[in-house]
Amino acid sequence: MSVQKLLFSGLKLSTSGRSRWISRLHDGINGNGKASLSSCSPKVCIVGSGPAGFYTAQHLIKARRDVEVDIYERLPVPFGLVRFGVAPDHPEVKNVINTFTQTAKHSRCSFYGNVNVGKDVSVEQLQQAYHAVVLSYGADGNRSMGVPGEDLAGVYSAKDFVGWYNGLPSCRELSPDLSCETAVILGQGNVALDVARILLSPIDILKKTDITQPALEALAESRVRRVLIVGRRGPMQVACTIKELREMVNLPHTRPEMVAADFEGVTEALKDVPRPRKRLTELMLKTALEIPGEKEQERRNKASRIWAFRFFRSPIEILADPDHSRTAGLRLAVNKLEGSGEGARAVVTGEVEDVSCGLVISSIGYKSLPIDPSVPFDSHKSIVPNNMGRVQQAAGLYCSGWLKTGPTGVIADTMNNSFDTARSLMEDMDSGTLDVSAAKPGSQSISALLEKRG
């Protein structure tokens, strides 16, 4: 078996015939390439190597000195959304990779990449080989807009667009057409603002990041000069955080373009909201309504690019060009709100408006997908039904991360929910609910299965 060293320390790529998989080779490897670890230790398999997978592994390894953890990943390399979903100009968020690497290097942790659970190996086969299986493979699907024209050229999901500029293997050939002047992003969360910022950032700033070279070259030639960030509700319901909004406000060579009427009544409503929401909304109000100081006005006057929030709007159709071959615009329903605060609901008014644009990026959320028919799955909520990470009606099967909760929160939330799952698993070990008395083969049987399949 040939072994080729990868770019990150401690991990090696193993290839054998058609099947390729990665495992961390540690000091316990014997001459046959098999790990000479205790056969009677509790063996846990984690499916998915993003934050949820690594946080679950980290907690298990730290809490129990006898547990052995194998992490299986569909991609050739680990770290999931931290590697492929974080904006390239946010390197501080990627620092958590250092912690995950230490976990991957641990003598009781091994990583296997290029293993597509559900296709290369079934969850039932993993359950036969391990005492417990934790599903942590995240939310790899896109939520559909469900409107006519969303399959036209020039319409992309934010997940794929972010994957393109971050070098996700499945998105490298995306080659988005950036020849239009106006782009519309549907959704007002942090990912939407990341995409807007990357589209409008000066190329000299992007050169200092780890953005991929093909994306950098495409953005250098981009003609996009105006980005509209559209949401179905109002300023009090935007899903982004103040950090991302502040980055947009201060982005060089850009100026904001807001509709003052969208902010009617907002100042009065701020009195009773939590502090983070209050600070975020105050920054929006200042950006939209206050007369800027002399220095800021001069900066705005020199701006060559524009970004704007558009509130109370929902997509109802992507409009095609005369040849019906690509995107030429977007038809939006004008909404009003019923209720207030976080629970406010957008209701259509019957009024519509058209926006000319050549690029539409849908950032309305990710969703988890079922990978194996043996695993219970709630298709409405797009999660695996669970109780504190214990998969319902499936002994020895657990879940963590977005598969457990849905795609919500920041990385700290994923850390906490993954730690909770690990605690549930350990409680079951300690109570005897999870039987770890019988020896299990772990990766030896799975590796043999993958070798056999080639």
Query: What digits encode the pLDDT tens for the residues 114-159?
Result: 999 999 999 999 999 999 999 999 998 888 899 999 999 999 999 9
Q: How many CB atoms lie within 10 A of CB 376?
A: 16
CA 94, 19, 48 angle in degrees (round to 5)? Answer: 35
User: What are the tokens at 313?
Assistant: 């709007």
Query: What digits encode the pLDDT tens for the residues 278-308?
Result: 999 999 999 999 999 999 999 999 999 999 9
User: What are the tokens at 433?
Assistant: 């609910």
- Do 123 and 374 touch, CB atoms closer than 8 A? yes
CA distance 297 to 291: 8
Q: What pLDDT score was predicted for residue 119?
A: 95
> If residue 391 lies in a helix (H) or strand (E), which one and from where to where?
strand 390-391
15-24, 26-35, 279-288: range with highest mean pLDDT: 279-288
pLDDT at residue 236 tops 90: yes
Strands 12-16 vs 2-5: parallel, antiparallel or unpaired: antiparallel
CA distance 436 to 399: 19
Distance of CA 112 to the CA centre of its chain: 21
pLDDT at residue 18 tops 60: no
Rounded to 10°, the helix 51-63/411-431 angle is 40
Query: What digits encode the pLDDT tens for the residues 352-388?
Result: 999 999 999 999 988 999 999 999 999 999 999 999 9
CA distance 85 to 423: 27
Instruction: Say what the pTM is.
Output: 0.88
Q: Considering the chain, what percentage of its residues have pLDDT values greater than 70?
A: 91
pLDDT at residue 26 tops 80: no
Query: What digits encode the pLDDT tens for the residues 201-210?
Result: 999 999 999 9
CA distance 53 to 109: 12
Burial 393-426 (b: 16+ CB within 10 A, else e): ebebbbbbbbbbbbbeeebeebbebbbbbbebbb
Mean pLDDT of the chain: 90
